[in-house]
Amino acid sequence: MLATSQPAAIAQNNLIESFAHFLNVDVAAGDASDDTIKNYLCQTKKYFQWCNRGAIAPLKATRDDIKQYRRWLIEVKQYKPATIAFKLIVVRRLYAAAVEKGLIPSNPALGVSPPRECRDPAERITYLEQPEVPHLLNAIPTQLSIPALRDRTLVAIMTMEGCRTVEMHRLSMGDIIRRGRNVGLRVKGKRSLRIVPLIPDLVKLLELYLEARQQAGEEFTPHTPIFISVARNNFGHRLTRRSIQRIVDKYLTATNLKHTPGRTLSAHSLRHTAGTLALRTGSDLRQVQDLLGHSDPRTTAIYAHVGDRWENNPALKFGVTLF
């Protein structure tokens, strides 16, 4: 038993090592975030666990095995198509790394597609209505303490400027851009950099937050994170994406906005709020596309569709009354 399991373990370790190297040099053109790499390796571990349950050696997996894995994700785990698509991408890249390293002759995951998602794209869009925005922001303490100023600045920028959680996580002092009186943030999105202009109130709020940190004795460098942990055992460290999500959830829950009939809000809903309300209040589609960093204007147009679906329903113009 030991004689057969040891070579299999060595082969699996070789596969993991080659994949880890592949992730560092290939994913996102060699610029993948630590979170992305950790997520890929975590998904790989789960795939190996599935292989082990079925007595499948990962390096000997066939295309039929990958299809069985897909079926298991659909029928047993009941994951959504988007989740299954990501898991299959990880497996496909795992075997691409193995091919590149010469561990296997071909990629068994090529051509194994995820199930189609029969869903209106607008269903994924959850957002705050315009009166709910001040309701959320007013729930955040207004004291000039570092925690209160951090939370207020963080949530306000995400809600009004549409920045992603990962973009807020990555922000450093060197990303504050000044052009005369204008101030913006250089944010790194999924595939590009963009400058997010800040309205004057957000600039003032950001400056108050940074001044509070300096008065507490902190010295800044271009690499100092903008949004930091205020926990006693972790003070000054960069806020994680999960911590940012928890902060947003705390205020959504406190204002009873987290769960309402037919709607559950998240940190990403703040980005949807910025896009939807900007279009609804008359901003140009191209301006909103630039603000949110969408490469395809059709992505931005979904926000317009969400806002217009009920208000501009063509059936309202038929002139037909039923009661």
Tell me the pLDDT tens digit for each residue of 4-43: 456 666 667 778 777 877 777 666 555 566 777 888 889 9
Residues 189 and 297 both lie in one domain: yes
Residues 181 and 278 both lie in one domain: yes
Q: Look at residues 117, 140, 170 and tell me which one is the last residue of a structural domain.
A: 117
Residue 249: pLDDT over 90: yes
Residues 141 and 20 both lie in one domain: no
Could you tell me if residue 172 is inside a domain? Answer: yes
Supply the pLDDT for residue 1. 32
Residues 19 and 156 both lie in one domain: no
Could you tell me if residue 318 is inside a domain? Answer: no
Q: Look at residues 117, 135, 170 and tell me which one is the last residue of a structural domain.
A: 117
For residues 177-189, average pLDDT: 93
Supply the pLDDT for residue 64. 97
Q: Look at residues 102, 117, 132 and tell me which one is the last residue of a structural domain.
A: 117
Alpha helical stretches, state H, the chain: 2-25, 34-53, 63-75, 81-101, 132-137, 146-161, 165-170, 200-215, 241-254, 267-280, 285-292, 297-311
pLDDT band, residue 129 (cuts 50/70/90): very high
Supply the pLDDT for residue 124. 79
What residues make up the domain containing 283?
Answer: 124-311
Could you tell me if residue 321 is inside a domain? Answer: no
Could you tell me if residue 323 is inside a domain? Answer: no
Residues 107 and 155 both lie in one domain: no
Supply the pLDDT for residue 24. 74
Tell me which of 55-59, 121-125, 132-136 is least confident: 121-125
Could you tell me if residue 26 is inside a domain? Answer: yes
Residues 142 and 67 both lie in one domain: no
Residues 260 and 287 both lie in one domain: yes
Residue 73, both tokens:
């994700």
Could you tell me if residue 2 is inside a domain? Answer: no
pTM of the model: 0.77
User: Domains in the chain: how many in total?
Assistant: 2
For residues 138-144, average pLDDT: 95
For residues 233-257, average pLDDT: 96
Could you tell me if residue 1 is inside a domain? Answer: no
Residues 257 and 139 both lie in one domain: yes
Tell me the pLDDT tens digit for each residue of 209-241: 999 999 999 999 999 999 999 998 999 999 999
As a whole-number percent, the residues of the chain with pLDDT over 70 amount to: 91
Residues 138 and 245 both lie in one domain: yes
Residues 235 and 101 both lie in one domain: no
Q: CA gyration radius for the chain?
A: 24
Supply the pLDDT for residue 3. 38
Three-class DSSP category at 199: coil
Residues 34 and 82 both lie in one domain: yes
Tell me the pLDDT of the chain averaged across its residues: 89
Supply the pLDDT for residue 252. 98
Higher pLDDT, 45 or 30: 45
The residue type found at 214 is Q
* Phi/psi of residue 266, nearest 5 degrees: -140, 180
Residues 103 and 204 both lie in one domain: no
Tell me which of 79-83, 175-179, 302-306 is least confident: 302-306
Residue 145: pLDDT over 50: yes
Could you tell me if residue 261 is inside a domain? Answer: yes
Domain CATH number, residue 100: 1.10.150.130
| Rounded CA separation 76/176 (Å) | 47
For residues 122-146, average pLDDT: 93
Domain CATH number, residue 172: 1.10.443.10
